[in-house]
Amino acid sequence: MGGSASHCLRLAWTTAEVTAALDVFAKVLAVSDVKSASGDWQPQLDRVVQGSAVYAVMGDWAFSYLEQTKKLRWNDGYAVTASPGSDGVYDFLSDSFTLPAGARRPDLARKWLIEWFTSSWNDFMFGAMMTSRDSWPVTIALNNVAGGQAVPFGQAMAGALLVSLPTLAIYVLLGRFFMRGLLSSTLRD
């Protein structure tokens, strides 16, 4: 569709540009495996390796899965190419926090995001930089379980559950005191 972001936000659903984009999207969906679209990316690559799919749109994470897990080699067992129609396009993706347009209190949302991120990052970095492998906090240990390219989700989730159990137990046992404290601080004159 082209144009600036503000131009795209003002487009009506009935314009020729939107209709053309939806037509292209319908063609892509017609040849896509939409039944497994909510699945993980490893099974999608497995279908390509087995020959039941022609290609998969992936990022650099696919390299380690194909090389280490599937034991394939570049230009021997797999190859890559740019997505059709992406000539001259630089695409960048990063995990991010978003603030919706029209948020009721964007100033408070920004402050909360900054505080949450800073606090979490500081906790993580302290554990990573100031401790040795023998005394890592659980956040670093869990990151190292889930931090690879082929994530063992079952192991990572089991570890996260075990790590959260002490906090959950404390809350269950002492939850009424937390609630009393919260309520008493809000009801003061």
| Residue 60, helix vs strand vs coil | coil
Mean pLDDT of the chain: 76
Report how far residue 172's alpha carbon sits from residue 166's, in angstroms, rounded to the nearest whole number: 10
CB 22 within 8 A of CB 5: no
Residue 1: pLDDT above 50? Answer: no
pLDDT tens for 177-189 read 877 777 776 665 5
Instruction: Give the residue-averaged pLDDT of 45-61.
Output: 81
Q: What is the DSSP string of 8-29?
A: HHT--TTSHHHHHHHHHHHHHH
pLDDT tens for 67-108 read 878 888 888 888 888 777 777 776 655 556 667 777 788 888
CB 50 within 8 A of CB 43: no
Report how far residue 41's alpha carbon sits from residue 94's, in angstroms, rounded to the nearest whole number: 17
| Boundaries of every domain in the chain | 106-186
pLDDT tens for 131-153 read 776 777 777 777 777 655 566 77
125: tokens are 């970095």
Q: Residues 6 or more apart from 124 whose CB is under 8 A from it?
A: 139, 140, 143
Query: For the chain, how far is it from start to end, CA to CA, in angstroms?
Result: 57
Beta bridge partners of 74: 78
Residue 9: pLDDT above 80? Answer: no
Q: What is the DSSP string of 65-113?
A: IIIIIS---BTTTB---PPTT-TT------------TT-S-HHHHHHHH
